[in-house]
Structure 1
Amino acid sequence: MKKKRLILSLALSLSLLAYSGFSFADGPELDDHTTVNSGPGVALGKNENTVSVADSYLKVYSGVLSGENVPLLSDYGFSGHGVYGYNEMSADLFKLKDAYPALQLSSLGKTIDGRELYCGIVGNPNASKKILVHASIHAREYIVTKVAMRQLASLLEMEKNNQRYGGKSMKDMLQNCAVYFVPMVDPDGVSLVQNGLAGIGSEEVRNTVQSIVAKENPGDLKSYFRLWKSNARGVNLNKNFDANWSITVDKKGYPAKDEYKGSAVESEIESKVLADLLRKEKFTSTISYHTQGEVIYWYFGQGEYVPKARRLAEIVHKNSSYPVID
């Protein structure tokens, strides 16, 4: 199996603070068998439990702007190389809250297995410019939660020390902008990928997962769960939004580890609370992190936002070298 590497698309919040763009919509999804060229970032390989980070990319922001010094905090779960799950993320969020009172931490709701859908805000939530960063909407791509958490922590540290970035005061920039982080959109699915059925606490939810397994009849359960993309109800959250939902091709048509779009738009708690947040805050820009493709998807729909979104995609391209997909 060829190694797949983390998309450090570097659509980084720092680059967007002074930019008034529009949102990235998730683009076409790659199938399980897609192979990609080796690139910078985190090598997933066959064993996701032995993730290692290339030294030159240990700082998540490396290469964003030449010569900039962006701190990567130590002594947090996201600072290391090991598997990073819901419990580690939760502990880090509360540790950050203690260290940085400016962090506004809340829960958007709870999953069917009782996990919080955390949202952390850095900056001024009353500002006119707001950016949403979300990660791990696909369970098997959980390593991107580390990317979001490192960005969140670095912003807090730079704000606290009034560090300058791109010649501008971070504290001043964050007075005119807010960055919302939802670092793990699908914590139930992530726990299932990392721990199998043992990662699900509710007997009812375990029964749901077992019924999906029985229908798909995968054989090797360890490999099957490692490639689980959906939430614990077998819905691909990325396909569950009101964005051409009615015409989206549903390759399975029933709850499954990957392709099922759900019985209705926003039928899932995770997609519903994220959509509610989008409707409420009307974000200027949205960044969605994934782990395949080494590309930048930006185009979805028509209208006045297309040129703005294209310019934003070009900014990301210049800071990452990943191609813009038109």
Structure 2
Amino acid sequence: MDVKVRSGDTLWYYSNLFNVPLDLIIDSNPQAGPSSLQIGQTIRIPGYETSQYRVQSGDTFWKIASERRISLDAIALLNPSINPRMLQIGEGLSLPVQVTYRVVDGNRPYDFNVLTTDLNELYELYPFVRRETIGNSVMGKELVELQIGRGPKVVHWNGSFHANEWITTAVIMQFLNDYLLALTNKETIRGLEIHPFYNEVTLSIVPMVDPDGVDLVLNGPPDGEFGEMALSINDGNTDFSGWKANIRGVDLNNQYPAKWEVDAARKPTSPAPRDFPGYQPLTEPETVAMAELAGARNFEKMLAFHTQGEVIYWGYEGLEPPRSMTIVNEFERVSGYKPIRYVDSFSGYKDWFIQEFRQPGFTVELGLGVNPLPLEQFDEIYQETMGIFLASLYM
């Protein structure tokens, strides 16, 4: 919601008027000096939208404010050209409405278009969210990173490294929405005060690493050369439900230089629906973007969300730091997922991250069954994963 600065207005005043934490308002308006607002300047108020109201017989600002449980000055601020002593029946007023509901519905097929729509709506409502394009997919789709918070501890989450594991993006996005709601409404999640995390943690989130692959699984092959290539790799089969790779048949989570040659020797040697590690490491734009992001952000910990198995892989070649065990034990406590330290698999993003940065890295396998997991599991998976999201902030 946008407001226009009046004489004497401050960001602190807006924080009190709308009951929104001051740091969220400051970060929503990086162009505005907190102590030097200009009259007529536009200020964005996070967590609010406006509704339109037509003046009825007998209405006054006081009556409308009382019925809507909003302040008189909030109405005056949004309607600077309206004389409150001379309201006209049928006259239109803008009223502030605090957003207390989710705009993200994760429990549906979650392709790149759904993600883009939800990101745009979240960014409009919560402009303190920083949004950056870290690269592009093979087909040119934006690989979006979101950053929330101003804390020194950078915690990273990502989803949909594998195409038919797209439900991980839906889970991340729904929790992100709940996190933003808790911040702007000064609420708790599972009894935890959320606002302190804003100044302790910077969240880095890449919700969909493989947008081309996700769209292929959910919507079928696109027109043109990329669709033809995918059909050829899939032996002409139009059922892409088993497809894990990116659009040109490279498994993005087998692309990292962490014993890549070991996996390459025992996996497909040409493009395939799953498991082909590429002809060499880091050939795909999606994997390059994620590697560069890790180098740029200095993650304090990294969580890659996959499906399925209800397990958490947390070690690599003994290079993981000792505190990784403490963290993963807390993840187990809050989710019921079983920690597994080592597994005979290499070249994943988690493996490479631990190898390169010696920081805690985790591959979290959500749900049980055969990928793609059915949406009937979404609510259960969401409840299990919520504890892991929260624990990654405080551990």
Matches within 5 A, 1:165-184: 169-184=193-208
Name the CA distance, whole Å, in 2 between partners of 1:76 and 1:258.
30
CA contact (8 A) 2:252 2:286 kept: yes
Matches within 5 A, 1:1-326: 73-78=101-106, 81-124=107-150, 127-164=151-188, 169-197=193-221, 200-201=222-223, 203-213=224-234, 217=235, 220-222=237-239, 225-249=240-264, 250-303=266-319, 305-326=320-341
Q: CA deviation at 1:237?
A: 0.3
Q: CA RMSD in A?
A: 2.0
Which secondary structure does the structure 2 equivalent of 1:290 belong to? strand
CA contact (8 A) 2:250 2:276 kept: yes
Name the CA distance, whole Å, in 1 between partners of 2:204 and 2:100.
19
CA contact (8 A) 1:85 1:191 kept: yes
Q: CA deviation at 1:169?
A: 4.1
Name the CA distance, whole Å, in 2 between partners of 1:164 and 1:111.
36
Q: CA deviation at 1:75?
A: 3.7
Match of 1:8 in 2: none
Name the CA distance, whole Å, in 2 between partners of 1:254 and 1:278.
28
Name the CA distance, whole Å, in 2 between partners of 1:319 and 1:167.
13
Name the CA distance, whole Å, in 2 between partners of 1:153 and 1:75.
7
State the structure with more CA Rg: 2
Q: CA deviation at 1:210?
A: 3.2
Which secondary structure does the structure 2 equivalent of 1:132 belong to? strand
Whichever residue aligns with residue 206 of structure 1, its letter is G
Name the CA distance, whole Å, in 1 between partners of 2:272 and 2:299.
31
Q: CA deviation at 1:115?
A: 1.1
* Structure 1 range deviating more: 96-105 or 156-165: 156-165
Cα 1:211/1:166, change in 2 over 3 Å: closer
Q: CA deviation at 1:241?
A: 1.3
Name the CA distance, whole Å, in 1 between partners of 2:281 and 2:267.
17
Q: CA deviation at 1:263?
A: 1.5
Q: CA deviation at 1:190?
A: 0.5
Cα 1:77/1:170, change in 2 over 3 Å: closer
Unmatched 5+ stretches in structure 2? 1-98, 342-395
Which secondary structure does the structure 1 equivalent of 2:267 belong to? coil
Identity %: 31
Match of 1:57 in 2: none
Q: CA deviation at 1:242?
A: 1.9
CA contact (8 A) 2:244 2:251 kept: yes
CA contact (8 A) 1:122 1:155 kept: no
Structure 1 length as normaliser, TM-score? 0.70
Q: CA deviation at 1:102?
A: 1.1
CA contact (8 A) 2:248 2:271 kept: yes
Q: CA deviation at 1:73?
A: 4.2
Cα 1:167/1:195, change in 2 over 3 Å: closer
The total of aligned residue pairs comes to 242
Q: CA deviation at 1:72?
A: 9.2
Cα 1:245/1:187, change in 2 over 3 Å: same
Structure 2 length as normaliser, TM-score? 0.58
Cα 1:301/1:73, change in 2 over 3 Å: farther
Cα 1:301/1:72, change in 2 over 3 Å: farther
Deviations along 1:170-199, one digit per CA (max 9) or x if unpaired, are 2222112111111110000001101111xx
Whichever residue aligns with residue 314 of structure 2, its letter is W
Name the CA distance, whole Å, in 1 between partners of 2:214 and 2:187.
34
Whichever residue aligns with residue 150 of structure 1, its letter is Q
CA contact (8 A) 2:138 2:284 kept: no
Cα 1:144/1:73, change in 2 over 3 Å: farther
Name the CA distance, whole Å, in 2 between partners of 1:188 and 1:83.
15
Name the CA distance, whole Å, in 1 between partners of 2:218 and 2:191.
42
Name the CA distance, whole Å, in 1 between partners of 2:105 and 2:190.
28
CA contact (8 A) 2:146 2:206 kept: yes
CA contact (8 A) 2:149 2:203 kept: yes
CA contact (8 A) 1:242 1:265 kept: yes
